[in-house]
């Protein structure tokens, strides 16, 4: 929703006047050693090196479409190389558990000692009549993507965490109790956090170093907890994962992909369920692992020289419903700014109506997506042409990597010297079918002793009864 506020409120022309740019990142697998944020930031901060000669057009048939084709790397496999154009990370604002504040009407900030000071000043000025933003008292950074950034830069680049807790997590944090069904989300807190995040991002990006900021409060409106888009999205992510919103946007992603690459992502991916289920699955072709299609073969990564000989060759990914939905929503929310520009008085005026579309084929040569940044147009789930701004990036444990020239789902272990020992290697091996399990009843000691005593008594009784019965049968000459 913060992305939507910025996309609706500020034109590209205005955003381009800022010294710094705003980027939104939604990470997965963070509870597994910050897998998502480490995969992304290590590539951006540490620098990514594609093997010589293996940076290729993601869709082979578009290789001659100079300046407009998406580039990929065959090894180490990356379906999209646009992350290499992001530049340096100035600072990071992480958001954590803002939907269930431990104190009513209060959100907290936890800043590091390097870049947190400026951001702390910004957030402190963004309290409202109903919600207060208070500096946390813990003196430490909670485990968030900011932890990753501080680690990878040795503390040289930092930021701030906007959270719903002070010096202790809320009850049930990151457990099965951490759900809307057991602890209903505070929608007013979500709306306030989205407003604050949008305004803080604009102020941080426009900071001139002398305390001067763009008027974010005057340009970014306050989000209402009754906002129709917020309510619908919250219902999808918190209550009913079988919602029409994600399916609509994911279906458009499928049509667009087939139009551009010829690849059919298949039927709409499995829904999130009711209530939504966010547990991880096995990472393979059908569950988000990037792949290289070379001829009639599919590889988790590729080091051969046959790529491009067939027009069907491509580097792509089969995303989940959640991934496709969020990707398409961000395109829609952030890709409309080019339809406006700043007038001489500093305001925004519409210079182009958003064109209607049924798929990306209707969005060729859109004037408001012809910026010097090389924007390309796509068709959004709301059936209007927008500038494509969202990208996928692989989240994979640092201790493993796709085995070159092997099918997806096959991985090799990184040498310990290269890994640095930072990863516990989260993976799910393929076990033998002969591996089984034996289940035993677990009882407390007291009842177990009584059952043992009862067994002895019952056994003695049956032995005695057997001897007595035998004697009676002998006396009666029946035995």
**Statement to judge: residues 175 and 299 lie in one domain:** no
**Statement to judge: residues 221 and 270 lie in one domain:** no
**Statement to judge: residues 407 and 463 lie in one domain:** no
Predicted pLDDT at 260: 85
pLDDT classification of 345: cutoffs 50, 70, 90 = very low
List the Cα angle 377/378/384 in 5-degree steps: 105
DSSP at 342 = E
Domain assignment present for 96? yes
Question: What gap in Å lies between CA 448 and CA 436, rounded to an integer?
Answer: 27
**Statement to judge: residues 216 and 339 lie in one domain:** no
Closest by Cα among 260, 272, 376 to 324: 272
Q: Which of 175, 206, 240 is the last residue of a domain?
A: 240
Percent with pLDDT over 70 in the chain: 90
Evaluate if residue 433 carries a pLDDT over 50.
Answer: yes
Question: What gap in Å lies between CA 272 and CA 75, rounded to an integer?
Answer: 32
Of the chain, the end-to-end C-alpha distance in Å amounts to 90
Predicted pLDDT at 419: 64
Domain assignment present for 35? no
Domain assignment present for 442? no
**Statement to judge: residues 307 and 426 lie in one domain:** yes
- CA distances to 142, 230, 272 from 235, in Å: 28, 9, 12
Q: Which of 240, 265, 292 is the last residue of a domain?
A: 240
**Statement to judge: residues 90 and 71 lie in one domain:** no
Question: What gap in Å lies between CA 20 and CA 181, rounded to an integer?
Answer: 40
**Statement to judge: residues 331 and 197 lie in one domain:** no
Question: For the chain, what is the domain count?
Answer: 3
**Collapsing DSSP states into helix, strand and coil, what is residue 231?**
helix
Q: Which of 194, 210, 240 is the last residue of a domain?
A: 240
**Statement to judge: residues 201 and 312 lie in one domain:** no
Q: Give me the torsion for CA of 131, 137, 143, 147, rounded to 10°.
A: 100
Are the CB atoms for 77 and 314 separated by under 8 Å? no
Predicted pLDDT at 347: 46
> Which H helix or E strand runs over 96?
strand 92-96
pLDDT tens sequence across 79-115:
999 999 999 999 999 999 999 999 999 999 999 865 5
**Collapsing DSSP states into helix, strand and coil, what is residue 413?**
strand
Question: What gap in Å lies between CA 166 and CA 123, rounded to an integer?
Answer: 15
Domain assignment present for 29? no
Evaluate if residue 360 carries a pLDDT over 80.
Answer: yes
**Statement to judge: residues 189 and 301 lie in one domain:** no
**Top-ranked range on mean pLDDT: pick from 243-257, 270-284, 347-361:** 243-257
Predicted pLDDT at 343: 40
Evaluate if residue 417 carries a pLDDT over 80.
Answer: no
Evaluate if residue 365 carries a pLDDT over 80.
Answer: no
pLDDT tens sequence across 150-202:
999 998 898 999 999 999 988 788 787 888 888 899 999 999 999 999 999 99
Evaluate if residue 334 carries a pLDDT over 90.
Answer: yes
| Across 134-156, average pLDDT | 92
Is the peptide bond preceding residue 348 cis, with omega within 30 degrees of 0? no
Evaluate if residue 404 carries a pLDDT over 80.
Answer: yes
> Residue 284's CB: how many other CB atoms inside 10 A?
16
**291-294 β-sheet, strand order:** 297-299, 291-294, 314-316
Domain holding 430, by residue range, is 55-76+245-436
Inter-axis angle of helices 321-334 and 244-261, nearest 10 = 80
Evaluate if residue 288 carries a pLDDT over 80.
Answer: yes
**Statement to judge: residues 292 and 364 lie in one domain:** yes
Are the CB atoms for 77 and 402 separated by under 8 Å? yes
Q: Identify the bridge partners of residue 334 per DSSP, sorted by sequence position.
A: none
**Statement to judge: residues 12 and 106 lie in one domain:** yes
Predicted pLDDT at 374: 63
Evaluate if residue 54 carries a pLDDT over 90.
Answer: yes
pLDDT classification of 476: cutoffs 50, 70, 90 = confident
Predicted pLDDT at 116: 56
Q: Counting beta carbons within 10 angstroms of the beta carbon of residue 51, is it exposed (0 to 12), middle (13 to 18) or buried (19 or more)? A: middle
Predicted pLDDT at 92: 95
- Flag whether the pTM goes above 0.85: no
Q: Counting beta carbons within 10 angstroms of the beta carbon of residue 328, is it exposed (0 to 12), middle (13 to 18) or buried (19 or more)? A: buried
List the Cα angle 450/452/458 in 5-degree steps: 100
Domain assignment present for 441? no
**Statement to judge: residues 251 and 227 lie in one domain:** no
Question: What gap in Å lies between CA 335 and CA 266, rounded to an integer?
Answer: 26
């Amino acid at each position: 929703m913060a992305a939507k506020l910025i996309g609706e409120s500020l034109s590209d022309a205005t955003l381009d006047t800022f010294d710094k740019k705003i980027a939104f990142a939604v990470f997965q697998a963070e509870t597994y050693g910050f897998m998502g944020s480490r995969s992304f930031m290590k590539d951006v901060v540490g620098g990514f090196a594609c093997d010589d000669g293996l940076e290729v057009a993601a869709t082979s048939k578009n290789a001659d479409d100079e300046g407009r084709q998406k580039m990929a790397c065959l090894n180490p496999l990356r379906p999209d190389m646009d992350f290499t154009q992001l530049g340096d990370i100035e600072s990071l604002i992480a958001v954590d558990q803002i939907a269930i504040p431990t104190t009513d009407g209060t959100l907290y900030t936890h800043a590091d000692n390097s870049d947190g000071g400026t951001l702390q000043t910004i957030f402190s000025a963004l309290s409202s009549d109903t919600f207060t933003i208070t500096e946390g008292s813990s003196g430490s950074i909670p485990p968030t993507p900011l932890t990753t950034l501080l680690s990878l830069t040795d503390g040289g680049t930092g930021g701030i965490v906007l959270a719903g807790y002070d010096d202790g997590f809320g009850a049930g944090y990151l457990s099965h109790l951490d759900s809307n069904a057991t602890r209903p989300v505070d929608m007013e807190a979500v709306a306030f956090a989205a407003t604050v995040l949008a305004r803080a991002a604009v102020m941080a990006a426009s900071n001139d170093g002398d305390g001067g900021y763009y008027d974010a409060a005057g340009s970014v409106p306050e989000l209402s907890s009754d906002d129709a888009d917020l309510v619908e999205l919250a219902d999808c992510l918190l209550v009913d994962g079988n919602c029409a919103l994600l399916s609509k946007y994911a279906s458009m992603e499928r049509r667009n992909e087939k139009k551009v690459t010829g690849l059919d992502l298949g039927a709409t991916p499995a829904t999130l369920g009711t209530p939504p289920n966010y547990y991880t699955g096995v990472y393979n072709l059908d569950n988000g692992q990037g792949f290289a299609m070379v001829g009639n073969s599919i590889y988790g990564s590729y080091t051969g020289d046959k790529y491009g000989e067939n027009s069907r060759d491509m580097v792509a990914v089969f995303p989940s419903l959640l991934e496709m939905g969020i990707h398409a929503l961000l395109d829609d929310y952030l890709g409309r700014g080019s339809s406006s520009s700043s007038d001489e008085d500093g305001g925004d005026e519409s210079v182009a109506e958003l064109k209607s579309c049924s798929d990306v084929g209707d969005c060729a040569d859109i004037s408001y997506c012809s910026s010097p940044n090389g924007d390309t147009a796509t068709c959004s789930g709301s059936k209007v042409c927008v500038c494509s701004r969202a990208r996928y990036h692989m989240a994979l444990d640092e201790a493993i990597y796709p085995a070159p020239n092997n099918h997806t789902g096959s991985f090799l272990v990184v040498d310990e010297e290269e890994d640095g020992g930072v990863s516990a290697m989260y993976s799910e091996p393929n076990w033998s079918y002969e591996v089984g399990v034996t289940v035993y009843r677990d009882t407390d000691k007291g009842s177990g002793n009584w059952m043992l005593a009862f067994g002895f008594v019952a056994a003695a009784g049956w032995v005695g009864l057997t001897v007595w019965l035998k004697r009676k049968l002998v006396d009666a000459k029946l035995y």
